[in-house]
Amino acid sequence: MGLAGLKRWLDEYGRVWEQGDADASGRLYTEDVKYYETPFSQPVEGREAVQNYCIEAAGAQRDVRFSHEPYVMTGDTGIARWHSSFVRVPSGLGVDLDGVFVLRFDENGRCRELREWWHRVETEGKKQ
C-alpha cells in the first residue's frame, strides 16, 4: 500500500466524515473490521456496525473539518496524526480534536483494524 496509499485512504476517510457519508464509509473497511475509538473501549466490530457508528456521529456534528499527517506505512500497518473540528448538534459548541491512528489494512487497501487516541477541547462560545 505504501505511504501514498495511506494518504489516499485518509483523504477518503476525511471526505466521508466531513460529508457525513456513512454509506461511503463501508468502502473503507473490511467486513470484519474492528474499530477502537479509544484505547480502553470495546471495539465496534463489523462494517455495518461501523457504518451505524458513522451515521450516529454525523447526526451529532456539523461543519466538520478533517486533516491528517501520514507518518509511516510498514507492511500492513500505517500510523498517522489527524485533526478535526466540528460543531456539536444541538448545543452549538465547537469541538477540536487532535489524534493518532494506528491502522491495519488488508491486501485490497481496506482497513481491518482502526485504533485511535485523541484529545478534545470544546470552545467556550458557539462556533459560527
Rounded Cα distance, 79 and 69, in Å? 9
Which of 62, 54, 63, 60 lies closest to 13 in space, CA to CA?
54
Maximum separation of any 2 CA atoms in the chain, in Å:
45
pLDDT digits (tens, 9 = 90+) for 19-62: 988 888 889 999 999 999 999 999 999 999 999 998 888 889 99
pTM: 0.91
**Cell numbers at 13, concatenated:** 476517510
Read off the pLDDT of residues 58-103 as tens digits, 9 standing for 90 and up: 889 999 999 999 999 999 999 999 999 999 998 999 999 999 999 9
Q: What integer is the mean pLDDT of 114-128? A: 80
Question: Domains in the chain and their CATH numbers?
Answer: 2-126 (3.10.450.50)
Tell me which DSSP letter residue 39 carries: T
Beta carbons of 32 and 112 less than 8 angstroms apart: yes
pLDDT at 115: 98
| Cβ atoms of residues 62 and 87 within 8 Å | yes
Helix (H) or strand (E) holding 89: none
